[in-house]
Amino acid sequence: MPQGLIIKGIGGFYYVKTEEGIVECRARGKFRNENITPLVGDMVTVSIHNNSNSLDKIHERKNQLIRPPVANVDQLIIVFAAVKPEPNLELLDKFLIVAELNNMDIAICINKIDLIEAPLIEGMFAPYKEAGFNIIYTSTKKDIGIEDLKLYLKDKVSVFSGPSGVGKSSLLNKLHPSFNMETGEISKKIERGKQTTRHTQLLELHEGGYVADTPGFSSLEYEAMKVDYEELDYLFPEFRDFLGQCKFTGCSHTKEPGCAVKNAVEEKQVNKRRYESYVRMYDDIKKLGRNY
């Protein structure tokens, strides 16, 4: 029986990319009974019949995003603008946590670099580079970095996310001839008015790999993060070398004496602003009483 990837779902039909081409099928009734909805990005088994094909089995998911609804996302491309709007680094830190929690690869894409001097922006993101994150600088206006971005997308299923106005739609339009997204706030509002339901699709890239045609969440609440404050430290990759070296086991790295992470901040081995971002998230999540 053919296996494949759901690239589109519309009106109860699923479109599955298999080795033999795209198969249109309906989900078996058992999924409805079990309250399971097949998602774009699902790996599935289908069977081919004369009158109608059926989607028989959904393979186990490695993760699942809610916005956009896509399963098995390999990579999150987190887009911020160099300016207009000014990057909100604390928000970036939250996006990074969500990606780490969901086992997704991460690429940080800084767009609109045509509007700012390169050293200024590289300085701002140096702590992220030092922490080991991939950073791509792009400009859709001046066609900078688009080829680099394509290299990151190759052979992966990627979702773009980031605040509104940073250039996500403009970037998607550069990647694929069939991306044809409205850019700019006013036209998007008109577009949303016209189209009440948007169906997310995975578009196959010429170079290999897929990109969701709907950008992801643009702001985050801790509610959605499902992170345990006691595990937050592991989600800051630049802390990992120091964890386990604190004086107290179970050190929260906020107030305890003899904390190796705090010490690393003092010795400038860990960026102070990233550390402060950690402390704020830790306190906020703790206040919510979250421990999963």
Structure-block tokens of residue 79: 């887009």
Q: Which of residues 94-123 bind ligand GDP (CB under 6 A)?
A: 111-112, 114-115
How many degrees, rounded to 5, is the angle at CA 108 between CA 198 and CA 148?
95
Based on CB atoms, which residue is closest to Zn ion, 137 or 282?
A: 282
Q: How many angstroms from the chain centroid is the CA of residue 140?
A: 20
Instruction: Using CB under 6 A, pick the residue from 85, 123, 132, 184 that binds ligand GDP.
Output: 184
Instruction: Using CB under 5 A, pick the residue from 201, 253, 274, 282 that binds Zn ion.
Output: 253
Specify the stretch interacting with ligand GDP by CB under 6 A; choose among 150-158, 167-175, 241-249, 275-283: 167-175
Specify the stretch interacting with ligand GDP by CB under 6 A; choose among 147-155, 168-176, 190-198, 257-265: 168-176
DSSP state of 273: H
DSSP result, 160-183: EE--TTSSHHHHHHHH-TT-----
Q: Please state, in angstroms and rounded to a whole number, the distance separating the CA atoms of residues 280 and 94.
A: 11
Q: Which of residues 233-252 bind Zn ion (CB under 5 A)?
A: 246, 251
How many degrees, rounded to 5, is the angle at CA 191 between CA 189 and CA 194?
110
Specify the stretch interacting with ligand GDP by CB under 6 A; choose among 60-68, 91-99, 126-134, 165-173: 165-173
Binding partner selected for residue 156 from ligand GDP, Zn ion, none, CB under the kind-specific 5 to 8 Å limit = none
Q: SS3 of 101, please?
A: helix
Binding partner selected for residue 127 from ligand GDP, Zn ion, none, CB under the kind-specific 5 to 8 Å limit = none
For 8, list phi and psi in degrees, rounded to 5: -160, 145
Q: Please state, in angstroms and rounded to a whole number, the distance separating the CA atoms of residues 261 and 242.
A: 6
Say whether residue 214 binds ligand GDP (CB under 6 A).
no
Structure-block tokens of residue 246: 């604190």
In the bound complex, what is the minimum distance in angstroms from residue 54's beta carbon to ligand GDP?
37
Q: Please state, in angstroms and rounded to a whole number, the distance separating the CA atoms of residues 251 and 279.
A: 12
In the bound complex, what is the minimum distance in angstroms from residue 289's beta carbon to Zn ion?
22
Binding partner selected for residue 246 from Zn ion, ligand GDP, none, CB under the kind-specific 5 to 8 Å limit = Zn ion
Say whether residue 161 binds ligand GDP (CB under 6 A).
no
Specify the stretch interacting with ligand GDP by CB under 6 A; choose among 117-125, 133-141, 191-199, 266-274: 133-141
CB atoms within 10 A of CB 32: 10
Contact between 282 and 255 (Cβ < 8 Å): no
Return the closest-CA partner of residue 110 out of 171, 158, 156: 171
Say whether residue 259 binds Zn ion (CB under 5 A).
yes
Based on CB atoms, which residue is closest to ligand GDP, 155 or 191?
A: 191
For the chain, the straight-line distance linking the first and the last C-alpha, in angstroms and rounded, comes to 39
For residues 94 to 133, the per-residue mask of contacts with Zn ion, x marking binding by CB under 5 A and - elsewhere, is ----------------------------------------
By the criterion CB under 6 A, which residues form the site for ligand GDP?
111-112, 114-115, 139-141, 164-170, 183-184
